């Protein structure tokens, strides 16, 4: 509690102002993602509030903003549509059955994410290679940019078309004015967040000038909503009453829950890692996992659409000076106050101002240095960087990161698989010594086996691991296989400088291995991946 209070009072002015800025940007995003998922705008706004307040207080990364996100909304769509179809097919047609299914799913999502935090899965974000991170931020910047292009359209009689003529020019002018204010204001003063000032100035120009432009209110109504008016989130889920209506659809709900949990954690941990780099501080991935889980459970109980960390809003917060938990708390509470009291005012904010803010986020997010270093880094890393960027745009942030990590792991494994070497020499007594260099693991087993000439080798053979280590079970099996080949031909075999763990595993499989392993006093302390492998005799 003392640490929380200290964090809340360390930088109050910047945190409060940046929180207000973020809240303004949260409104259209939450509404838009609710429309994507096929939900009422208030469901998205409640989700953004609940996720924002919970993660701001209990999360592992002060200054990071959570709310309703597009990545999770896309995953929700199929299940919500299926639920609504089932509800309409029932004799006593149940409206919004898809929403009820979603709320039950979010309870499972939260439980999975909390379990991930308890199992300390958050630490695995450290295994993400730098090319994947660069590809991630580049793809993210492109996704944010493309998502804002939809704001340059208008809906007429249910048909969406691009703005034209004076409407387009006014929209572009306001966007450019917002960007110019955000660019030049920090050169004059840093006491006022440039994003908040830009939104306020552009809003004043459109309101006082009577300009007919798209606003937050018109955006909601064009999407099928009625406005921001609402009340406090209330307990909505009816688990026991929904059992009969779910029937055979539990598999869909559970599979969707696992996918939502994975997408949410990956996007949140990647955002945490990015904010860590921007602020030169260190967050706790495990705490963030548990906070995300708690937030999603409460969304399930109180009628929010759930969510995870919002990368764009987190960057707005950081760039506006928000570093502490107070910024996230202010953003969440301000968002709720918009719904409760300030809806008429917030609905007048021009969409152009928010688009301009997001465009500046795009410019600040994109790793422009990647163009400069693309020809200077290993080709494999360049391929990973480009692939992650493209997959992020084409598919999803989480999928892109997973594929990028797999690609990097395969490249690493391939390179290390070719590194194993074997120097040979003959002792005075005629013993042939194989001095192994490099890691022995699943990827290098084939090359390791090719180093030995079992049939033509002399009667005495020694395999020296002083410059090598056995890294996994495959390596142990390869070593045992080579030794057995020599023994089957009646030749003597001695294995030296073997790691203690590998010795234990070999002797566990068969005590006779004791006579073939030399207990060197100068054994280096090498370790295998696990010390509890169950090896059969």
H or E stretch at 496: strand 492-496
Position 536 scores a pLDDT of 38
Segment 490-517, tens digit of pLDDT: 999 998 888 777 777 777 767 777 777 8
Note whether 182 and 99 are same-domain residues. yes
297-347 confidence digits (pLDDT tens):
999 999 999 999 998 889 889 988 888 899 999 999 999 998 888 888 888
Q: How confident is the model at residue 36 (pLDDT cuts 50, 70, 90)?
A: confident
Residue 27 pLDDT level (bands cut at 50, 70, 90): confident
Residues 188 and 308 in one domain: yes
Structure tokens at 7: 């964090």
- Assigned domain for 537 exists: no
Higher-pLDDT residue of 268 and 532 is 268
Q: What is the tally of structural domains in the chain?
A: 2
pLDDT value at residue 519: 65
- CA distances (Å), origin 54, targets 87, 290, 304, 368, 453: 32, 10, 13, 34, 64
Q: Same domain, yes or no, for 329 and 454?
A: no
Give the separation between CA 36 and CA 59, rounded to whole angstroms: 27
Output the pLDDT for position 293.
96
pLDDT score recorded for residue 55 = 96
Q: Are strands 421-426 and 432-440 parallel, antiparallel or unpaired?
A: antiparallel
User: What's the average model confidence in pLDDT over 414-420?
Assistant: 84
CA distance 237 to 252: 18
Given a cut of 60, is residue 520 above it in pLDDT?
A: no
pLDDT for the residue numbered 222: 78
Residues 225 and 345 in one domain: yes
444-456: average pLDDT:
91
* 302 and 361 share one domain: yes
Residues 250 and 363 in one domain: yes
Please write the tens of the pLDDT for every residue from 137-187: 888 788 878 888 888 888 777 677 898 999 999 999 999 999 999 899 988
Does residue 293 lie in a domain region? yes
Q: How far does Cα 305 stand from its chain's mean position?
A: 18
Q: Can you give the pLDDT at residue 526? A: 45
Question: What is the Cα–Cα distance from 207 to 347, expressed in whole angstroms?
Answer: 11
Residues 124 and 57 in one domain: yes
Q: What is the DSSP letter of 126?
A: G
128 and 261 in a single domain? The answer is yes
Position 531 in a domain: no
Q: What pLDDT was estimated at residue 532?
A: 41
Angstrom distance (rounded) from CA 34 to CA 27: 11
DSSP element (H, E) containing 460: strand 460-470
Lowest mean pLDDT among 88-97, 104-113, 174-183, 338-347: 88-97
The answer to whether position 492 is within a domain reads yes
- 102: DSSP letter: H
Indicate if the pLDDT at residue 535 is higher than 60.
no
Strand partners, 308: 67
Whose structure tokens read 């892109």? 400
To the nearest whole percent, how much of the chain has pLDDT over 70?
Answer: 91
- Alpha carbon 350 to chain centroid distance? 31
Query: By three-state DSSP, how is residue 341 classified?
Result: coil
Does residue 399 sit within a domain? Answer: no
**pLDDT tens, residue by residue, 192-220:** 778 888 888 999 999 999 888 988 888 88
pLDDT at position 94: 66
Exposed, middle or buried by CB within 10 Å (0-12, 13-18, 19+), for 51?
A: buried
Q: Is residue 524 part of a domain?
A: no
What confidence tens digit (pLDDT) does each residue in 256-303 have?
A: 999 899 889 988 988 898 899 888 888 899 999 999 999 999 999 999
Cα–chain center distance at 266 = 3
pLDDT for 415 equals 84
Q: What's the pLDDT at 1?
A: 58
Interacting residues of 300 by C-beta distance below 8 A, sequence separation 6+: 102, 103, 104, 105, 106, 107, 109, 110, 237, 306
Domain boundary among 328, 359, 382: 382
Residues 46 and 179 in one domain: yes
Q: How far is CA 146 from CA 22, 163, 392, 394, in A?
A: 20, 16, 12, 11
Antiparallel, parallel or unpaired: β 432-440 and 460-470: parallel
Q: Is pLDDT of 247 > 80?
A: no
pLDDT of 531 reads: 45
326 and 189 in a single domain? The answer is yes
Compute the average pLDDT of residues 8-15: 78
Per-residue DSSP letter, 436: E
Q: Which helix (H) or strand (E) holds 153?
A: strand 153-156
pLDDT at 228: 76
More confident residue, 526 or 450: 450
- For residue 459, pLDDT over 90 is answered with yes
Position 208 in a domain: yes
Model confidence at 240, pLDDT cuts 50, 70, 90, reads low
Instruction: With H, G, I as helix, E, B as strand and everything else as coil, classify residue 495.
Output: strand
The neighbour count for residue 441, using CB atoms within 10 Å, is 23
Mean of pLDDT values over 472-485: 88
Q: Which long-range contacts (CB under 8 A, 24 or more apart) does 170-173 make?
A: 170/211, 170/213, 170/352, 171/213, 171/214, 171/352
Q: Does residue 238 have a pLDDT over 80?
A: no
Average pLDDT of span 362-386: 88
DSSP characters for 162-211? E--HHHHHHHHHHHHHHHHHHHHHHHH-SSS-HHHHHHHHHHHHHHHHT-
Count of Cβ atoms closer than 10 Å to residue 470 Cβ: 28
Q: Are residues 254 and 320 in the same domain?
A: yes
Q: Which residues of 519-537 are buried (b: 16+ CB within 10 A; e: fewer)?
A: eeeebeebebeeeebeeee
- The per-residue pLDDT of the chain, averaged, comes to 85
pLDDT at 403 over 70: yes
Domain CATH for 448: 3.30.750.24
Q: Flag whether 142 is in a domain.
A: yes
Q: Are residues 325 and 472 in the same domain?
A: no
- Give this prediction's pTM: 0.73
- The domain in which residue 233 lies consists of 12-382
Report residue 496 as tokens. Answer: 């030296």
């Amino acid at each position: 509690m003392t640490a929380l209070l200290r964090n809340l009072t360390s930088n109050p002015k910047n945190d409060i102002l940046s929180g207000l800025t973020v809240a303004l940007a949260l409104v259209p995003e939450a509404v838009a993602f609710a429309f994507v998922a096929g939900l009422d705008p208030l469901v998205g706004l409640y989700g953004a509030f609940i996720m924002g307040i919970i993660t701001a207080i209990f999360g592992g990364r002060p200054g990071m903003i959570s709310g309703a996100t597009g990545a999770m909304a896309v995953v929700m769509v199929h299940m919500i549509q299926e639920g609504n179809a089932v509800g309409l097919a029932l004799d006593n047609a149940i409206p919004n059955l898809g929403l009820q299914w979603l709320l039950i799913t979010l309870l499972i999502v939260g439980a999975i994410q909390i379990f991930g935090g308890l199992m300390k899965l958050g630490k695995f974000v450290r295994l993400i290679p730098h090319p994947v991170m660069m590809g991630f931020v580049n793809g993210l910047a492109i996704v944010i940019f493309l998502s804002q292009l939809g704001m340059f359209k208008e809906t007429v009689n249910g048909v969406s078309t691009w703005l034209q003529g004076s409407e387009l020019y006014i929209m572009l002018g306001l966007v450019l004015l917002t960007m110019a204010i955000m660019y030049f204001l920090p050169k004059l003063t840093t006491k006022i967040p440039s994003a908040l000032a830009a939104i306020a100035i552009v809003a004043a120009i459109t309101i006082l000038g009577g300009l007919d432009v798209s606003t937050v209110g018109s955006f909601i109504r064009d999407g099928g909503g009625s406005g921001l008016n609402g009340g406090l989130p209330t307990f909505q889920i009816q688990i026991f009453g929904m059992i009969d209506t779910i029937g055979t659809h539990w598999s869909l709900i559970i599979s969707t829950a696992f996918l939502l949990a994975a997408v949410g954690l990956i996007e949140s941990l990647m955002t945490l890692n990015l904010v860590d780099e921007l602020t030169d501080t260190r967050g706790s991935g495990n705490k963030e996992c548990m906070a995300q889980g708690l937030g999603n459970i409460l969304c399930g109980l109180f009628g929010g659409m759930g969510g995870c960390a919002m990368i764009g809003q987190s960057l707005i917060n950081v760039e506006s000076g928000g570093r502490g938990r107070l910024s996230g708390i202010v953003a969440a509470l301000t968002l709720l106050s918009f719904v409760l009291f300030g809806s008429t005012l917030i609905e007048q904010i021009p969409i152009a101002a928010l688009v301009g803010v997001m465009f500046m986020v795009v410019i600040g997010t994109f790793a422009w240095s990647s163009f400069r270093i693309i020809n200077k880094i290993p080709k494999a890393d360049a391929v990973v960087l480009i692939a992650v960027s493209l997959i992020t745009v084409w598919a999803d942030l989480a999928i892109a990161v997973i594929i990028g990590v797999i690609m990097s792991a395969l490249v690493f494994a391939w390179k290390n698989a070719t590194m194993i070497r074997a120097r040979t020499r003959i002792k005075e007594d005629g013993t042939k010594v194989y001095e192994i260099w490099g890691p022995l693991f699943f990827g290098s087993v084939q090359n390791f086996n090719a180093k030995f000439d079992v049939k033509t080798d002399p009667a005495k053979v020694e395999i020296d691991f002083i410059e090598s280590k056995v890294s996994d079970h495959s390596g142990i099996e390869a070593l045992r296989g080579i030794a057995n080949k020599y023994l089957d031909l009646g030749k003597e075999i001695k294995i030296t400088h073997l790691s203690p763990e590998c010795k234990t595993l070999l002797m566990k499989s068969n005590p006779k291995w004791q006579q073939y392993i030399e207990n060197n006093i100068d054994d280096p302390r090498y370790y295998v991946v696990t010390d509890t492998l169950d090896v059969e005799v």
